[in-house]
Amino acid sequence: MEVGEALGKAARDLKRNCTFIASSDFTHYEPQELAKKVDANLIEAILRMDVPELYSRVYRYEATACGYGPIAAVITATRALGATVASSFDTRQAEMSPATTISRRLRSHCFHIKEVS
């Protein structure tokens, strides 16, 4: 969480709009039904922007998801900058151009975190 706090402070001190990106392809090496269940639990904590609960669920479900540390840092940074809402969309539903680099993996999600005025 220290990284997220430092990112939020740097963005605030610079008085610049910043985009933070963290990446995960979530559960590895598990049967699909178990992966869906574990991923859904992690995604729920991410959407609630609840970093302690995200870590709790990673350990409770023995999640093999990579990138949960950077995700927690982005949540922490954006909360420090006033973000209050996170939303998700499934990248499988997004229109893709040939230049798009987003992978069309099963269970691919993007999260958008913003401040609500």
81: β partners: none
Q: In the chain, what are the domain boundaries?
A: 2-114
105 neighbors 35 (Cβ within 8 angstroms): no
Mean pLDDT value across residues 12-29: 84
Q: Quick count: other Cβ atoms within 10 Å of Cβ 70?
A: 16
Q: What is the mean pLDDT of residues 64-83?
A: 89
What is the residue-wise DSSP string for 39-108?
HHHHHHHHHTT-HHHHHHHHHHTT---S-HHHHHHHHHHHHHTT--EEEEEEGGGS---TT------TT-
What does the alpha-carbon distance between residue 78 and residue 30 come to, in Å, rounded to a whole number?
Answer: 31
Least confident of 61-65, 79-83, 85-89: 85-89
Alpha carbon of residue 41 to chain centroid: 12
pLDDT one-digit tens code per residue, 42-73: 989 998 999 999 999 999 999 988 889 999 99
> What is the model's pTM?
0.77
pLDDT, average across residues 84-92: 71
